[in-house]
C-alpha cells in the first residue's frame, strides 16, 4: 500500500514519521513538499530579532527521509484525482517539481491513502501593498524572518543616531489569524530595544482584528494566574502596558502604502497608522489545489471549502454563532467525499470561527480566523497516521484515534525576550482549545487546566522546546516519545 503525504510542516512531517514507524518496509510512504527544508516555525520569531540564524531553525528533509526510507519529492501538489482517470485505476496527485534539477517537470503519483497537510497559503495579495518586497515584513517563514531582521537593524541603526522610529506590529488583514506570532514579535522588539537603551526613541503600536486584545482567534480565555482568575484581555493589556506598547483593536487593515497602513474599524470608520517598520501577518487560505473526478469534471468544491481548506468530518451547516458547539468540530479529519483522504493541521477547514464573528457597519468582516497551529497540528497529524496505519493492517478503514479541538488541550509559550538571564516567556495552557460552554458553563474551559504565568523560566522552557522538537523532527533516538 502507498500513503502520500502532501506537506512537511508540523502536521505533515509528524504524519509521515508515524506512518513509516508503524507501517515499516512493507508499505510505501511518499512525502510531497515544495521546500527542501523542515522549519521549526515558532523560533522564526528569534530569527526576526537576530537571536537565531536561519540554519538554527531549519534542516534539509532529504537526509532524514532517506534514513527513514521515505520517498521524498520536492514538488508542489497541483491537482487531486480521487477516482483516477482513464489511465489510472487508483487515485493520484498531479505534482510539479520545485527542485533545481527537475523544476517544472510534472508527475502523477498514485496513492491508496492521501494526507493533505499543505498548511496555509500566505495570502499577502488579499491586502494591497502587504508583505515582503512591498511595504511590510513578515515572520511566517525563515526567509521572511531573516528579511525582517535586516529591516529591523536599519531602524535600530537610525535610533542609535537619535532618530525616533515607529513600529507597527499585528495583523494585516480583517480576517487574519496567528495573532500569537505577531504578539511574540512585538514583545521581542520591545525587549531588544530596551536592551539597547533605546526605548525612549521607539513608538510601538499593536494593531489587530481582535475585538479585545488577547483574543488570539480562540475567543480569548480566562486563565488561573498566581491563584487568581483573570482574562487574557487583562493579561495582554498589562503586558503591553509594561512594555509601553499602544494598541489598536477591532481594526481590519485594507491597504499598506510606504510608511502608512489604512484600516477600517468596526464602527465603519477609516483610519491610518504611520510607521517606519511594519510586521503584519497576512490572511491565510488553503493552497491552490484543484480536484477532478474520473471523467475530468472539476470537483474542487466537493473536496474543498471556498477558502480552499479541505472539508473533513465536521458540521459545516450554517448556524448562528450561539448555536455552534464543540460537536461541530472534526474528530478524525477524514474527507466526507472520499474515505481514503484526510487533512491535518491548518489544511482542514474549520466548521466555524471560535471568536464571535464581527462585521463593521460597512459589512466588512473584522474578526480573527480560528488557529490550528502548534499542538493541534502535531496531534492531528499523529492520529491520522495511526488510523491509516491500523486501517492498512486490518484491511478496513477504522478510526480508533480521535482528536477534537473541542476536547483537545494546547500549551503555548510566548517569547517576550531572548536572554538566558533577563529573558521572559509567557506560558499558557488552554483546555479545550474550542470552548465547551455546556461542560464548563462558567468559564468555557477547564479552569484547572487553563493557566498562565510569565517569567524567566518561560524563556528557558521555550528554548528547551526548540531543541527538543528539532530532535523529534530529525528522528533522533526515541523521537516518538516526545509529545506533540
Domain assignment present for 149: no
**Dihedrals phi, psi of 3, to nearest 5 degrees:** -115, 125
Domain assignment present for 115: yes
Question: In this structure, what CATH number is given to the domain that contains residue 333?
Answer: 3.50.50.100
Name the grid cell of 359. Answer: 462585521
pLDDT of residue 412: 87
pLDDT of residue 170: 98
pLDDT of residue 280: 98
Domain assignment present for 377: yes
pLDDT of residue 210: 97
Q: How many CB atoms lie within 10 A of CB 380?
A: 34
Q: Which residue has the cell 526567509?
A: 143
pLDDT of residue 174: 98
Chain centroid, CA 256 distance in Å:
23
Q: Strands 71-81 and 37-39: what pairing?
A: unpaired
**Dihedrals phi, psi of 273, to nearest 5 degrees:** -130, 120
Measured distance CA(178)–CA(162) in Å, rounded: 33
Helix extents (H) in 431-482? 456-473
Domain assignment present for 175: no
Domain span at 109: 2-121+287-394
Domain assignment present for 79: yes
Mean pLDDT per 10-residue section of the chain, whose length is 484 residues: 98 98 97 98 97 98 97 98 94 97 96 98 98 98 98 98 98 96 97 98 98 94 82 93 97 98 97 98 97 97 98 96 95 98 98 96 96 93 98 96 94 93 92 94 92 91 96 96 92
**Beta bridge pairs of residue 255:** 128, 262
Domain assignment present for 339: yes
pLDDT of residue 227: 78
End-to-end CA separation in angstroms for the chain: 26
pLDDT of residue 226: 73
Q: Please state the domain count of the chain.
A: 1
pTM of the full structure: 0.96
Q: Assess contact for 186 and 245: CB atoms under 8 A.
A: yes
Domain assignment present for 351: yes
Which residues, at least 6 apart from 127, have a Cβ–Cβ distance to it below 8 Å? 172, 173, 253, 254, 255, 256, 280, 282, 283
Closest among 232, 29, 236 to 115, alpha carbons compared: 29
Domain assignment present for 420: no
Amino acid at each position: 500500500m502507498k500513503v502520500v503525504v502532501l506537506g512537511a510542516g508540523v502536521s505533515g512531517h509528524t504524519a509521515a514519521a508515524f506512518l513509516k514507524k508503524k507501517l515499516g518496509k512493507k508499505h510505501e510512504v511518499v512525502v510531497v513538499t515544495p521546500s527542501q527544508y523542515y522549519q521549526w516555525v515558532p523560533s522564526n520569531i528569534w530569527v526576526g530579532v537576530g537571536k537565531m540564524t536561519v540554519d538554527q531553525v531549519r534542516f534539509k528533509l532529504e537526509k532524514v527521509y532517506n534514513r527513514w526510507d521515505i520517498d521524498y519529492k520536492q514538488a508542489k501538489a497541483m491537482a487531486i484525482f480521487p477516482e483516477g482517470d482513464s489511465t489510472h485505476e487508483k487515485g493520484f496527485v498531479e505534482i510539479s517539481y520545485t527542485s533545481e534539477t527537475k523544476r517544472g517537470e510534472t508527475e502523477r503519483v498514485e496513492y491508496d491513502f492521501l494526507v493533505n497537510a499543505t498548511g496555509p497559503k500566505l495570502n499577502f495579495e488579499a491586502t494591497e501593498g502587504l508583505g515582503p518586497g512591498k511595504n511590510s515584513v513578515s515572520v511566517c517563514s525563515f526567509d521572511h524572518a531573516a528579511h525582517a531582521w535586516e529591516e529591523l537593524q536599519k531602524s535600530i541603526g537610525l535610533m542609535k543616531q537619535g532618530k525616533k522610529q515607529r513600529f507597527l506590529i499585528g495583523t494585516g488583514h480583517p480576517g487574519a489569524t496567528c495573532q500569537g506570532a505577531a504578539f511574540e514579535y512585538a514583545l521581542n522588539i520591545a525587549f531588544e530595544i530596551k536592551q539597547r537603551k533605546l526605548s525612549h526613541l521607539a513608538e510601538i503600536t499593536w494593531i489587530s482584528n481582535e475585538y479585545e486584545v488577547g483574543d488570539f482567534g480562540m475567543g480569548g480565555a480566562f486563565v488561573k494566574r498566581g491563584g487568581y482568575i483573570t482574562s487574557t484581555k487583562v493579561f495582554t493589556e498589562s503586558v503591553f502596558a509594561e512594555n509601553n506598547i499602544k494598541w489598536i483593536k477591532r481594526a481590519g487593515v485594507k491597504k499598506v502604502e510606504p510608511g502608512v497602513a489604512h484600516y477600517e474599524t468596526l464602527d465603519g470608520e477609516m483610519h491610518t497608522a504611520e510607521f517606519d517598520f511594519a510586521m503584519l501577518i497576512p490572511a491565510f487560505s488553503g493552497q491552490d489545489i484543484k480536484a477532478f473526478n474520473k471523467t475530468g469534471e472539476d470537483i474542487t468544491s466537493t473536496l474543498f471549502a471556498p477558502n480552499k481548506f479541505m472539508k473533513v468530518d465536521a458540521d459545516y451547516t450554517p448556524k448562528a454563532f450561539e448555536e455552534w458547539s464543540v460537536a461541530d468540530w472534526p474528530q478524525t479529519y477524514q474527507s466526507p467525499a472520499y474515505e481514503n483522504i484526510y487533512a491535518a493541521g491548518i489544511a482542514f477547514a474549520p466548521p466555524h470561527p471560535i471568536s464571535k464573528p464581527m462585521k463593521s457597519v460597512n459589512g466588512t468582516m473584522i474578526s480573527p480566523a480560528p488557529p490550528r497551529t502548534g499542538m493541534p497540528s502535531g496531534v492531528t497529524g499523529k492520529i491520522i497516521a495511526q488510523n491509516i496505519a491500523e486501517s492498512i493492517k486490518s484491511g478496513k478503514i477504522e478510526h480508533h484515534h480521535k482528536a477534537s479541538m473541542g476536547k483537545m488541550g494546547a500549551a503555548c509559550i510566548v517569547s517576550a525576550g531572548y536572554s538566558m538571564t533577563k529573558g521572559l516567556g509567557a506560558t499558557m495552557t488552554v483546555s479545550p482549545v474550542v470552548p465547551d460552554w455546556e461542560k464548563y458553563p462558567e468559564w468555557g474551559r477547564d479552569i484547572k487546566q487553563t493557566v498562565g504565568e510569565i517569567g524567566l523560566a518561560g524563556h528557558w522552557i521555550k528554548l528547551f522546546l526548540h531543541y527538543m522538537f528539532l530532535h523529534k523532527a530529525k528522528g533522533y533516538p526515541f523521537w516518538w516519545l516526545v509529545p506533540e
